Amino acid sequence: MTEITRPTLIIDKAVCLQNIERMAKKAEKYQLRLRPHFKTHQAAKIGEWFKLFGISQITVSSVLMAEYFASNGWNDITLAFSLNILEINRINRLADSIKLNVLVENKEAAEVLALQATNKVGVYLKIDTGYNRTGIPAGRTGRIDSILDVLSKNSKLTFKGFLTHTGHTYNALSTNEIFSSHFDALLKLKKLKNNYKKNYPGMELSMGDTPSATICGNFDGIDEIRPGNFVFYDLMQHNLGVCDIADIAVKVVCPVIAKHVSRNEIVIYGGAIHFSKETVQNTDGKELYGRVIIKKGNEKVLLDTKNYLSRLSQEHGIIKVTPANFKQIKVGDLVEVIPVHSCLTANMMGHMITTEGEFIEMMPKY
């Protein structure tokens, strides 16, 4: 900590290990395969931490990320992003060296796979269970049938089952809403399984965003979960009621540059290029970019939500504080900020340092 002179992403490895262990045990309890999403950390070294808990199959969100983790020894990867047909050549190369699953949601992509897949590939159909982003709406069995029909034309392709991302849990205003979205998605997937199990006895169901994978207790009929964010958690998950502050493994340490007493504002070196511009609302409806931990004497104290990272420009952050806390903070101090969305913050920073001082490189951007 004393060597930090500019915005630095700090990872608490012990907390990460705890988070991974808890999720691995939960998966075991419910007889689910845990195929964690590695887009949150994007780091080979953190991947190794998952191996300690028996993880050997992972999820990624881009061909680039699949290539990176494949080159770091992972040989069973689901590319959980509806097939980008322009990358078919790289997908073929990947499928030559590892066990690869891809997602398809339309005939165009199915046709490219049917015509051009040169190696064995597992194919999940991406199902929209209410997030309204990607996927075949769960009720559209006609579309499902026609895609399965196209896929059947290439014997390299194996239909693996149905996969969904219940991303609308991130917009929930209560944990009850998370339970409800999850249960609704579960029922939709189970109905599909009932319809297709006969013709495709090996098919599976895959779901599992971090909110529902963390707090839900009904995974009846589900084979696999794919949460990612849980390794770090963040303020967004805390605001959803999904994790405790103590479960959050990431902080951005930032130098204090200036103080403005007339506005009760602290200026930090730490801006949009460090945090991303993702916000959550604090208890009185104000948009915030992070919560703040300062040192009081020898103790680190998480300030309440009256104190928060309130504005960001490219490299500057403005922290609003109460007058009492204003006095505690000095120019040249380091403050810790809990970020809103750890996936985006980690992605921006490109590297991290553990609380023990270990440097962790993330995958290259291109």
The residue (of 47 and 271) whose beta carbon lies closer to a second copy is: 271
CA pair distance 168, 162, nearest whole angstrom: 18
Give the per-residue contact string, 57-76, with a second copy (x = CB under 8 A; - = no): ----xxxx------------
How, if at all, do strands 121-128 and 99-104 pair? Answer: parallel
Q: Which of 120, 277, 296, 327 binds a second copy (CB under 8 A)?
A: 277
Q: Which of 137, 180, 283, 304 binds a second copy (CB under 8 A)?
A: 137
Full DSSP string of 266-334:
EEEE--HHHH-S--EE-TTS-EESEEEEEEETTEEEE--TTSEEEEE-SSEEEEE--HHHHHH--TT-E
Q: Should residue 258 be labelled a site residue for a second copy when binding is judged by CB under 8 A?
A: yes
Residue 110's nearest CA partner among 75, 154, 140 is 154
Q: Which of 54, 73, 139, 350 binds a second copy (CB under 8 A)?
A: 350
Q: Which of 263, 296, 300, 327 binds a second copy (CB under 8 A)?
A: 263
Q: Should residue 331 be labelled a site residue for a second copy when binding is judged by CB under 8 A?
A: yes
CB of 81 to a second copy, least distance (A): 6
Angle at the Cα of 160 from the Cα atoms of 154 and 164, rounded to 5 degrees? 125
CB of 86 to a second copy, least distance (A): 4
Q: Should residue 45 be labelled a site residue for a second copy when binding is judged by CB under 8 A?
A: no
CA pair distance 194, 146, nearest whole angstrom: 18
Give the per-residue contact string, 281-310, with a second copy (x = CB under 8 A; - = no): ------------------------------
CB of 298 to a second copy, least distance (A): 20
CA–CA distances in Å: residue 293 to residues 267, 303, 320: 15, 6, 13
CB 196 within 8 A of CB 160: no
CB of 147 to a second copy, least distance (A): 12
CA pair distance 158, 40, nearest whole angstrom: 28
Residue 126's nearest CA partner among 79, 169, 57, 77 is 79
Count the Cβ atoms, other than its own, within 10 Å of residue 327.
Answer: 11
- Report H helices in the chain: 13-29, 44-51, 63-70, 88-97, 107-116, 141-151, 175-196, 210-215, 235-240, 272-275, 323-328, 342-349
Q: Should residue 257 be labelled a site residue for a second copy when binding is judged by CB under 8 A?
A: yes
Q: Which of 1, 6, 194, 199 binds a second copy (CB under 8 A)?
A: 6
Q: Which of 31, 155, 298, 314 binds a second copy (CB under 8 A)?
A: 314
CA pair distance 271, 175, nearest whole angstrom: 31
The residue (of 38 and 49) whose beta carbon lies closer to a second copy is: 38
The crossing angle, in degrees rounded to 10, of helices 63-70 and 88-97 is 20
Q: Which of 5, 180, 194, 322 binds a second copy (CB under 8 A)?
A: 5
Segment lying near a second copy (by CB under 8 A), choices 92-100, 115-123, 155-163, 331-339: 331-339
The residue (of 18 and 141) whose beta carbon lies closer to a second copy is: 141
CB of 363 to a second copy, least distance (A): 12
CB of 295 to a second copy, least distance (A): 15
CA–CA distances in Å: residue 230 to residues 39, 259, 298, 359: 11, 35, 30, 21
Q: Should residue 39 be labelled a site residue for a second copy when binding is judged by CB under 8 A?
A: yes
The residue (of 99 and 316) whose beta carbon lies closer to a second copy is: 316
Q: Should residue 31 be labelled a site residue for a second copy when binding is judged by CB under 8 A?
A: no
CB 275 within 8 A of CB 340: yes
Q: Which of 313, 322, 327, 358 binds a second copy (CB under 8 A)?
A: 313
| Positions that interact with a second copy (CB under 8 A) | 4-6, 39, 61-64, 81-87, 90, 105-106, 108-109, 112, 132-134, 137, 167, 255, 257-260, 262-263, 267, 269, 272-273, 276-278, 311, 313-316, 318, 330-332, 334, 343-344, 347-351, 365-366
